């Protein structure tokens, strides 16, 4: 089975910061545990992000205190020990993920964005991840 995960606010936790905009708060361990469980069950796992691939070379971004504002996808996967669980990463460069998910044959997609989940093909089951708590909400 093909399983896909969004990156920002799904595998990661972020919050709004008055000075910097969006600030990285750490991994979403609930989603990471789910990703690992899928991989251990022999599912093929991909990360599909709407980030722009050409901006990944400018990450990680730091504030003046050396705290991470934004990870690169690859650095995060390395840091969290996920490189052996994730088959590949796909960037949609700001476009909706639906076309990539259909092309990959994703059976299940985890995402925090209701617009993304609403746009996916009916053959893909969308599971919502709460961007504030990291909880995996939609299990049906």
CA distances from 139 to 18, 86, 110 (A): 34, 22, 10
Tell me which of 109 and 64 has the higher pLDDT. 109
Q: Average pLDDT, stretch 29-54? A: 95
Report pTM. 0.89
What is the average pLDDT value for the chain, to the nearest integer? 89
| pLDDT tens digits, 108-119 | 999 999 999 999
User: Per DSSP, which regions of the chain are E strands?
Assistant: 2-5, 12-17, 21-27, 44-49, 61-62, 68-70, 88-91, 108-111, 125-128
Q: What angle do CA 16, 68, 131 make, to 5 degrees?
A: 40
Tell me which of 64 and 1 has the higher pLDDT. 1
CA distance 102 to 126: 12
pLDDT score of 132: 84
């Amino acid at each position: 089975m093909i399983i896909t995960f969004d990156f920002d606010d799904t595998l990661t936790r972020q919050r709004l910061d008055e000075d910097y905009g969006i600030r990285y708060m750490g991994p979403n361990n609930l989603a990471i545990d789910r990703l690992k469980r899928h991989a251990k069950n022999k599912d093929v796992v991909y990360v599909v992000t709407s980030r722009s691939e050409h901006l990944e070379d400018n990450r990680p971004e730091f504030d003046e205190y050396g705290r991470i504002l934004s990870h690169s996808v690859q650095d995060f996967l390395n840091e969290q020990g996920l490189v052996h669980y994730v088959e590949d990463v796909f960037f949609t460069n700001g476009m909706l993920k639906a076309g990539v998910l259909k092309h990959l044959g994703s059976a299940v997609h985890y995402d925090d964005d209701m617009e993304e989940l609403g746009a996916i093909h009916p053959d893909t089951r969308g599971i919502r991840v709460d961007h504030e708590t990291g909880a995996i909400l939609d299990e049906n």
